[in-house]
Amino acid sequence: MLHRKILGTSLILGTFILTVASCKKDDAPATPPVYTVPDTYNFENVEYAEATGSISMWAGFTSWLGKGTGRQLSADSANYLWNNTNNAFTAETTTNLPIVTTAINTLGFGLVTKVSDAATFKQLADSMVKVSASFSVVAAPGVAGKVGTRLVNYSGVEFNQLVAKGLMGAMQIAKINALLDQCKKDDNNTVKAGTGTAMQHSWDLAFGYVGIPKDYDSAKTYANTEVNRPLAIGGYFRERGRTIQAGGTIFTAFRKGRAAINAKDYTGRDQAIATIKETLEKTLAAAAYAYATLPQGSSDLAVKFHAYSECYGFVLALKYRAATSKLTAANYQTLLDIMKTNFYELSADATNAKLKQMQTILTTTYGQLQ
């Protein structure tokens, strides 16, 4: 009797295990999804006007700040451009941009709402406005003015470079990382005409914030007169990210990721996200490394101060790196502290000790950058 009970129990258990195993097998996809990745960012329901508008405003605002080398800038104009009010964008600031003047002025938002730590970057822009009053003064330690063609503050900083490069992190990287994280949570079933699913739209917005055209060619040198040219960090893929093949890697990952989302291949999507985040951050690091390296062989203060300022801006941008970043908080603070050194003091060190320390931190963290 006992033997029969044990045998019956075994049969039931065996049937249960077989049933569970069969269910698991049935739930798993028979084969990985097969789909085509286009050569360009050519998909249905792609819309990222917000991103294009934001990048265009970045280009217009930062180019306007650069005008301070030849004239005193207006605090009111800075406010209007930052907030996109009072029809602030004119032909002077929007020539050869993806969005024309009237379209930018009617977007309904300003940089102030698209930038992380907006108050910090507005303060840097206001500092450039203030320094522009000294555009005809010869700079000296403790005195704002011109060093060659560069307009610097009392310690040698070009504030317009801090704003331009810093916003590549505070706007572009911050937005892209947030949107890529968001798309993992988004619905990918309900299609809305013009924008696709919520997941597709988040992904497309992230692509738009990179600042490259849909038919981007990483091997091409784009002219400044081309409307659909790479802008902001997109422009630095070739200028400072060519060695690490940043442009081609990021463009490929965005196309693969969008195709993966279309096919509901979320493993492929997540692989693309990891590649994009890592390569964007490494592009910032490569630029910072380049501008820590270039001035070491120069005796020209204008060359040094300009490179230091660009480097400082890219270090500011690195603050907005992904949570998975290899750059530790302690090493980031060291980079920041070095760039806060008075530039006259930094340039006076013939050994370039602090700049070499930066190089070591960056290459130890990211590998070869040049």
pLDDT digits (tens, 9 = 90+) for 330-340: 999 999 999 99
Query: What pLDDT, on the 0 to 100 scale, is given for residue 21?
Result: 35
Please state, in angstroms and rounded to a whole number, the distance separating the CA atoms of residues 106 and 86: 10
Cβ contact 362:370 at 8 Å: no
Please state, in angstroms and rounded to a whole number, the distance separating the CA atoms of residues 337 and 35: 48
Burial of 29 (0-12, 13-18, 19+ CB in 10 A): exposed
Mean of pLDDT values over 260-289: 98
Joined tokens for residue 356: 């070499």
Dihedral (Cα; 202, 203, 209, 210), 10-degree rounding: 170
Check whether 54 has a pLDDT greater than 80. Answer: yes
pLDDT digits (tens, 9 = 90+) for 19-49: 333 333 333 345 668 899 999 999 999 999 9
216 to 41, 57, 170, 175: CA distances (angstroms): 9, 21, 23, 20
Per-chain mean pLDDT for the chain: 92
Q: pLDDT tier at 246 (50, 70, 90 boundaries)?
A: very high
135 against 33, higher pLDDT: 135
Helix 159-167 with 118-131: angle, nearest 10 deg:
150
pLDDT digits (tens, 9 = 90+) for 218-240: 999 999 999 999 999 999 999 99
Query: What pLDDT, on the 0 to 100 scale, is given for residue 101?
Result: 84
Check whether 90 has a pLDDT greater than 70. Answer: yes
Query: What pLDDT, on the 0 to 100 scale, is given for residue 25?
Result: 32
pLDDT digits (tens, 9 = 90+) for 61-80: 999 999 999 999 999 999 99
Cβ contact 47:214 at 8 Å: no
Query: What pLDDT, on the 0 to 100 scale, is given for residue 285?
Result: 98
**Percent of the chain, pLDDT > 90?**
89
